[in-house]
Amino acid sequence: MKISPNVVEQNTNVDYTLTLKNTSNIESIEVLSRGDFYHKDTLNYTIHNSTISFTYQMPHLGEFVVKVNFTYKESKLVSLYCLDKTMIKLRPLKGDLHMHSVYSDGRATPFAMVMASLDAGMDFLSVTDHDSYEGSLNAIAKVKENNIDILVLAGEEVSVGGKKDMSVSQGNGHILSIHANASIEDQRKDTLKYEKELQVIVKNLKKENIDKNIDPNHYAKNIWVINKIKEAKGISILAHPNWIYRDGKYHLHQAFYKEMLKSSHLDGVEAFGEEKVKEHNNMTHLTALQTKNKHKYIAPFANSDAHDSDHEIGDRFTIVFVKEKSDSGVIKAMQNGLCCAVCKRENYEHQFIGKDELAQYVYFLIKEYYPKHTALKSRLAKLYIDQLINGESFEKKINRIRQRLEEYTNSFYGIEN
């Protein structure tokens, strides 16, 4: 049983088409809100061949169900979603903003990471090599050169304590720089300027009411990185804040973590990252969600932290809601906190971290929209790879899959092609 559209605007008359193989013996059709326990209406409808048509205005936000009752067999259900007038204009994009290539400690080329991400259903990604912008720039160039249908944002995983301490990090941890217009590591090469800027930050920190257990001289490095990312028009995301490394200590000093969540200009935090220690994720997102930043909402992110093209890509990702499918559209969505972190658990279940209304909507999309979307993206990736390997143009087939993706999304949202 199929229905269109699948996503509608609240308090708006919508014309639905419901397709069934057998429309005989229908007793009634009802609509029920999953959020409002007491909401249930019986619908007036018409049948033409195998298509049922009806008009309905949904008064409640959230998921609702159209239930077809039969005289002699079990009822059939189809789920839909109702959004407000702002969210109905936005479209979901699926992405991964933390992965590595041979430009740092990864085991595949940046372009291989791009194609693996597309195969996993991603709409956007960033290659974030340790203290290097080159991998992401290589990925962007290769995507443009080969006309691959995926958004690639410039990226870098900054070792806050310094490049030589990439893993140990001296307790400063790592921060992802996404879509900045310059490498953050490159700006530390002028050591004299770097030290002077740190001292200015230290003076300001001593005037602020930060945690008294924090050494401003050490913590200033974290603020410097966040400030530099902001100056470069990028997005700063705190990476794996509860990662335990080597000597059994947290890679990031936990007082720094909590202070950044409270008082820095950080844009986001990885609620789900590579699960080197499986227990750490719940603590990560609980800490992030319970801490109120004085500047803005800290958005949750889920990333693979993949180090190879077959390493956990697709197990963790972030859904953002954009006005347009573009680099700037993705950045604006992240800046506005229109993000939901998703982690795929065992037995194909998922965990969602985000604002309630976004997490509930993403739960619906994972069930209803993304299975076909991911299958089409995977098919697209295979066609691109075949084309590159064989040196033969598959342009017609590629364009057909891209068209099917667009038609599928338009149908899902009730947009005429």
Q: Is the predicted pLDDT of residue 372 greater than 70, yes or no?
A: yes
Q: Is the predicted pLDDT of residue 249 greater than 90, yes or no?
A: no
Boundary-marking domain end, from 85, 112, 146 = 85
What pLDDT digit, counting tens, does each position of 282-293 carry?
Answer: 677 778 888 899
The β-bridge partners of 343 are: 316, 351
Q: Is the predicted pLDDT of residue 65 greater than 80, yes or no?
A: yes
Domain membership flag for residue 329: yes
Domain membership flag for residue 196: yes
Q: Is the predicted pLDDT of residue 178 greater than 70, yes or no?
A: yes
Dist CA 225 CA 222 (whole Å): 5
Inter-CA distances, 272 with 92, 342, 343, 412, Å = 19, 8, 7, 29
- Please answer whether residues 377 and 405 qualify as being in contact, where contact means their C-beta atoms are separated by less than 8 angstroms: yes
Q: Is the predicted pLDDT of residue 165 greater than 70, yes or no?
A: no
Say yes or no: 78 and 29 in one domain.
yes
Averaged pLDDT for residues 174-194: 96
Q: Is the predicted pLDDT of residue 277 greater than 60, yes or no?
A: no
Domain membership flag for residue 363: yes
Say yes or no: 220 and 130 in one domain.
yes
Q: Is the predicted pLDDT of residue 77 greater than 90, yes or no?
A: yes
Q: What are phi and psi of 150, to 5 degrees?
A: -155, 145
Say yes or no: 199 and 283 in one domain.
yes
Say yes or no: 132 and 169 in one domain.
yes
314 phi-psi bin (left φ>0, alpha ψ -120 to 50, beta other): left
Say yes or no: 40 and 183 in one domain.
no
pLDDT of residue 286: 78
- Please answer whether residues 30 and 41 qualify as being in contact, where contact means their C-beta atoms are separated by less than 8 angstroms: yes
Say yes or no: 316 and 334 in one domain.
yes
Mean pLDDT over each residue of the chain, to the nearest integer: 93
pLDDT of residue 228: 98
Averaged pLDDT for residues 198-204: 97
Range of 67-71, 166-170, 342-346 with top mean pLDDT: 67-71
Averaged pLDDT for residues 34-55: 94
Task: Identify which of 196, 199, 177 has the alpha carbon closest to the alpha carbon of residue 186.
Answer: 177
Backbone CA torsion sign across 325, 328, 332, 333: positive
Q: Is the predicted pLDDT of residue 276 greater than 60, yes or no?
A: no
Boundary-marking domain end, from 66, 85, 104 = 85
Q: Is the predicted pLDDT of residue 229 greater than 60, yes or no?
A: yes
> In this structure, what CATH number is given to the domain that contains residue 21?
2.60.40.1930
DSSP annotation of 61 reads -
The model carries a pTM of 0.95
pLDDT of residue 49: 87
Averaged pLDDT for residues 1-16: 96
Q: Is the predicted pLDDT of residue 279 greater than 60, yes or no?
A: no
Assign 272 a pLDDT band (cuts: 50, 70, 90). Answer: confident
Say yes or no: 168 and 20 in one domain.
no
Dist CA 18 CA 68 (whole Å): 10
Can you give the residue range of the structural domain that contains 31? Answer: 2-85
pLDDT of residue 213: 87
Q: How many CA atoms lie within 13 A of 140 on its CB side?
A: 14
Dist CA 292 CA 302 (whole Å): 20
Assign 248 a pLDDT band (cuts: 50, 70, 90). Answer: confident
Say yes or no: 110 and 227 in one domain.
yes
Domain membership flag for residue 417: no
Boundary-marking domain end, from 352, 368, 384 = 368
Query: Residue 348 is which amino acid?
Result: Y
Domain membership flag for residue 13: yes
Report DSSP letters for 252-288, one per residue.
B-HHHHHHHHHHS---EEEEE---SSTTHHHHHHHHH
DSSP annotation of 42 reads E
Percent of the chain with pLDDT over 90: 83
| Token pair recorded at residue 365 | 């999309």
Compare 284 and 384 and report the one with higher pLDDT.
384
pLDDT of residue 345: 75
Per the structure, how many domains does the chain have?
Answer: 3
> In this structure, what CATH number is given to the domain that contains residue 307?
3.20.20.140
Q: Is the predicted pLDDT of residue 168 greater than 60, yes or no?
A: no
Give the chain's length.
417
Q: Name the helix (H) or strand (E) containing 328.
A: helix 327-335
Dist CA 283 CA 257 (whole Å): 12
pLDDT of residue 285: 78
Q: Is the predicted pLDDT of residue 9 greater than 90, yes or no?
A: yes
Say yes or no: 100 and 157 in one domain.
yes
Domain membership flag for residue 398: yes
Within 8 A by CB and 6+ apart from 190, the residues are none
Say yes or no: 106 and 78 in one domain.
no
Say yes or no: 209 and 286 in one domain.
yes
Say yes or no: 60 and 151 in one domain.
no
